[in-house]
Structure 1
Amino acid sequence: MRVLGIETSCDETGVAIYDSERGLMSHVLYSQVKMHAEFGGVVPELASRDHIRKLLPLIKEAFAKAGLKLGEVDGVAYTAGPGLVGALMVGAATARSLAFGWGVPALGVHHMEGHLLAPMLEEVPPPYPFVTLLVSGGHTMLVDVQSPGCYSILGETLDDAAGEAFDKTAKMMGLPYPGGPMLSKIACKGEVGRFKFPRPMVDRPGLDFSFSGLKTAVRLVIADHAENEVVPEQDMADIACGFQEAVVDTLAIKCRRALQQTGHKNLVIAGGVSANSRLRERLADIVKKERCQLFYPRAEFCTDNGAMIAYAGWLRMRVGQQSGYELNIKPRWPLNTLDPIQE
């Protein structure tokens, strides 16, 4: 079975084709980062318009790279949510129209299920069951994954997601958009331990997260070290380092608890923040102590992409799941409300 995957949930247009026998045949991606950088963040209306401009050319490119003619697929999967309403509408309308024209089924896919399953595209995928840490700009949660489609939320953020905390802290520091990756970059030049920020909610039971207090602590330190409203370069690097260590430690502590609580021997990290090298190092130490294994997708599949949507769509479409003709997008869509995948 061959599935076209379309991802347009936010500011990246991703298209891919997945084949059950040949694996991933092609994947192409266009990022809107440069366009939104002028405004310091994603502008939903501009994101939607750019998806309209880029989506069809990318679909043609994906088919060409796969060596296929347009329409040589058995189904079309698209991101139905969560995400920006307008951006989701572009992908959904395009996918449904193509599926109708080609006479194949279409299926709306959960964006976070796509991220959760992205490591399955690797040469050595994680065996079920496993614990997944989903960390991105919009979500931070720990999920008990028993099998495809069977997810239990172990804990989630009560306020900002980890990626959002990175971006907002970077903005406080005056770093250009997208701030999160830039903050991580300058953190590598910082002195570990100079600034000790709180590890939110690690001193209480449970697996939920909170990063709002951490941001406040960083804001106060920035104000204390500003000279004529400018923080010296080394101070900036040390603050960034201290902030990153606090976030990474918090995530690692909760991951260890989740492994101990579930008894699972496999830990998966996925989502944009899973590309953070310091987080990977810290979690590698955790799984070694717990005698577990760590899995994550390659860097290009950590951020939003069409490959994860094509794969997640294939998993569900191969057992007969499909969406109706209506454009039923879900800007808010709890992961644990998904239907299980009945083999």
Structure 2
Amino acid sequence: MTTILGIESSCDETGAAVVVDGHTILSNVVASQIDLHAQYGGVFPEVASRAHIEAISAVVRQALDDAGVTLGDIDAVAVTRGPGLAGSLLVGVNYAKGLALGRGLPLVGVNHLEGHVYSLWLVERDTPIVFPVVCLIVSGGHSEIVLITGHGEYTVLGSTIDDAAGEAYDKVARLLGLPYPGGPAIERTARDGSATAYHFPRALSGDGYNFSFSGLKTAVLRAVQPPHEGPRPAKGEGMTSSQRRDDINVPDVAASFQAAVVDVLVDKTVRAAQEHGATELWIAGGVSANQALRAAMTERSPVPVRVPPMKLCVDNAAMIAAAGYFRYLHGYRDDQAMDILPMWPLVSIKDAMTQAE
């Protein structure tokens, strides 16, 4: 039995968790900063890093207490090394280094995107997972289609060339005067609207697996602003009634926008699964909580679809501990010289070990 303490601080959630053998969650504590950042309409990096400093010790203590273990029961410390906000990552990595050094524990740096992948290993399943699988990772900062051929073996088939899906949700929510975070707000509003009221573009809908949502965001802006367009709303502010066209039905815009995002995500991911012989299709990351995306993917996928429970869609440390467990089994170790990697791409564990040498 291998017990991993996971620590997550890549963006605006401070998380700590204890996971056994990569799949059994003993505890999973998350301190959210949503209320802190809502006034800005998005994550304010300096505020985020300071909030992590204030929360991390208490969160780790609670995770250990909830799991009924002490640091003496921990076999390794896994921590998000990147990608993410530099200031936020520093808090988690330095705290993890201190714990590892003080207790003589192995230290394992984990890629945040890999963590989202391993959120699927924390779910009870009726049938075993057989590789290869295709995973769509969708969150506020990432939209990627990944081919997974084994534990720690990844090939990124496509990614966003501009805005990520979650980022587009946040920006469009501001345009519509909806609250932050934009994903849940647009999903709720879209339930009362028509997905065919507006025909928004499906960018890069042809060959390839890359995404582009910047043009979609601009199309929504042009649809909702009057011809004599005034100044765009400042960051953290939504459009006022005087800045929106009088004939705009916000639920219709929200539903049509969401349909455009879901169509592209589903089309490309399903095609990737078909073309690479995937046995299953996975969705992970914050946007995987979107019910329209889940329903459309399940309906159109030729293979079984797995999604994490809602509580594991958001950033959390249990997924980092799970990913850290498999890195630990592969012999992956970091030392006290480990630095953060804010732009760290998702690479196979063997490649990551080679780069670290």
TM-score by length of 2: 0.90
Partner of 2:31: 30
Q: Is the counterpart of residue 158 in structure 1 residue 172 in structure 2?
A: no
Note if contact 1:126-1:295 (Cα within 8 Å) is conserved in structure 2.
no
For 1:227 and 1:21, how far apart are their aligned partners in 2?
Answer: 50
Partner of 1:306: 317
- The partner residue of 2:194 within 183, 191, 207 is 191
- The secondary structure found in structure 1 opposite 2:332 is coil
For residue 318 of structure 1, report the CA deviation from its aligned partner.
2.3
Partner of 1:334: 345
For residue 71 of structure 1, report the CA deviation from its aligned partner.
3.7
For 2:90 and 2:51, how far apart are their aligned partners in 1?
Answer: 13
For residue 117 of structure 1, report the CA deviation from its aligned partner.
1.4
For residue 11 of structure 1, report the CA deviation from its aligned partner.
0.3
Note if contact 1:149-1:340 (Cα within 8 Å) is conserved in structure 2.
no
Letter in structure 1 aligned against 2:62: E
Note if contact 2:9-2:92 (Cα within 8 Å) is conserved in structure 1.
yes
Alpha-carbon spacing, 1:22–1:33, altered in 2? closer, same or farther (3 Å): closer
Pairing 1:1-343 to 2, within 5 Å after superposition: 1-20=2-21, 23-124=24-125, 126-202=129-205, 204-224=206-226, 228-230=242-244, 235-287=249-301, 290=302, 292-336=303-347, 338-339=349-350
Structure 2 residue ranges without an equivalent (≥5): 228-239
Deviations 1:254-278 (A, max 9, x none): 0121012101121000000000000
For 1:84 and 1:76, how far apart are their aligned partners in 2?
Answer: 20
Note if contact 2:226-2:243 (Cα within 8 Å) is conserved in structure 1.
no
Note if contact 1:14-1:305 (Cα within 8 Å) is conserved in structure 2.
yes
- The secondary structure found in structure 1 opposite 2:69 is coil
Alpha-carbon spacing, 1:305–1:22, altered in 2? closer, same or farther (3 Å): closer
- The secondary structure found in structure 2 opposite 1:181 is helix
Q: What is the RMSD of the two structures over their aligned residues, measured on CA atoms?
A: 1.9
Letter in structure 1 aligned against 2:201: P
For 2:22 and 2:4, how far apart are their aligned partners in 1?
Answer: 12
Letter in structure 2 aligned against 1:32: Q
For 1:227 and 1:187, how far apart are their aligned partners in 2?
Answer: 19
Alpha-carbon spacing, 1:221–1:146, altered in 2? closer, same or farther (3 Å): same
Structure 1 residue ranges without an equivalent (≥5): none
For residue 181 of structure 1, report the CA deviation from its aligned partner.
1.5
Letter in structure 2 aligned against 1:216: T
For 2:25 and 2:171, how far apart are their aligned partners in 1?
Answer: 35
Letter in structure 1 aligned against 2:21: S
For residue 337 of structure 1, report the CA deviation from its aligned partner.
5.6
Letter in structure 1 aligned against 2:319: M
For residue 103 of structure 1, report the CA deviation from its aligned partner.
1.1
For residue 222 of structure 1, report the CA deviation from its aligned partner.
0.5
For 2:43 and 2:319, how far apart are their aligned partners in 1?
Answer: 22
Equivalenced residue count is: 338
Deviations 1:303-330 (A, max 9, x none): 1000000011111112321101114110
Comparing 257-266 with 125-134, greater Cα deviation is found at 125-134
For residue 192 of structure 1, report the CA deviation from its aligned partner.
2.6
For residue 157 of structure 1, report the CA deviation from its aligned partner.
0.8
- % same residue: 44
Alpha-carbon spacing, 1:21–1:83, altered in 2? closer, same or farther (3 Å): closer
For residue 338 of structure 1, report the CA deviation from its aligned partner.
4.1
Comparing 124-133 with 79-88, greater Cα deviation is found at 124-133
Alpha-carbon spacing, 1:10–1:16, altered in 2? closer, same or farther (3 Å): same
- The secondary structure found in structure 2 opposite 1:141 is strand
For residue 180 of structure 1, report the CA deviation from its aligned partner.
2.2
Letter in structure 2 aligned against 1:306: A
For residue 227 of structure 1, report the CA deviation from its aligned partner.
6.3
